[in-house]
């Protein structure tokens, strides 16, 4: 079970770093929104760092139900692949508005994909509560993206 959890966390780390890469691409492409995208990219890297720390603590944390981890790992891989495809195709098309729409969709789905199983479980040990914090941060990102878009793009 713990190796499945490590694999899950590895995929969650990869997803956070991939989202960060996307936001860095947006910061380079849309200079008028550079600071906004750069800040979100740094926050995604911080999420990855928190997950790396959590991974080191696994031996000291309580177990999670196997099915919570196993069923989500493939979804994380799929999300990373989708984001990498978006990054590859950035030069071909896209607008400032489209960048915000992509980011909003990713933040809303990322929160769902990587943390939903953990959020709904009130019986988690304190060590695993970090997932709940990360989910709240993802929700905050979606709100911030939506607000910025409404005030600067639409």
- Look up residue 33 and give its two tokens: 């929104």
The ranges assigned to domains in the chain are: 2-152
Question: 3-class DSSP state for residue 93?
Answer: coil
Look at residues 149, 34, 72, 45 and name the one whose alpha carbon lies nearest to residue 103: 149
Question: What is the residue-averaged pLDDT of the chain?
Answer: 80
- pLDDT reported for residue 134: 64
Burial code (b: 16+ CB inside 10 Å, e: under 16) for 16-27 equals bbbbbbbbbbbb
pLDDT in tens, 27-36: 999 999 999 9
Is 55 within 8 Å of 48 (Cβ atoms)?
A: no
Domain at 2-152, CATH class: mainly alpha
**DSSP symbol at 124:** -
**Model confidence at 16: pLDDT above 80:** yes
pLDDT in tens, 142-153: 889 999 999 998
């Amino acid at each position: 079970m713990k190796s499945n959890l490590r694999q899950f966390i590895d995929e969650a780390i990869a997803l956070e770093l991939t989202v960060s890469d996307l936001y860095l691409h947006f910061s380079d492409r849309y200079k008028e929104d550079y600071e906004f995208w750069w800040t979100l990219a740094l926050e995604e890297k911080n999420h990855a760092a928190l997950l790396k720390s959590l991974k080191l603590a696994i031996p000291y944390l309580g177990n999670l139900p196997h099915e919570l981890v196993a069923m989500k790992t493939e979804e994380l891989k799929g999300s990373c692949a989708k984001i990498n495809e978006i990054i590859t195709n950035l030069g071909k098309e896209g607008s400032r508005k489209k960048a915000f729409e992509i980011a909003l969709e990713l933040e809303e789905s990322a929160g769902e994909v990587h943390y939903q199983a953990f959020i709904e479980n009130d019986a988690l040990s304190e060590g695993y509560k970090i997932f709940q914090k990360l989910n709240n941060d993802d929700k905050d990102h979606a709100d911030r993206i939506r607000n910025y878009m409404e005030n600067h793009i639409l």
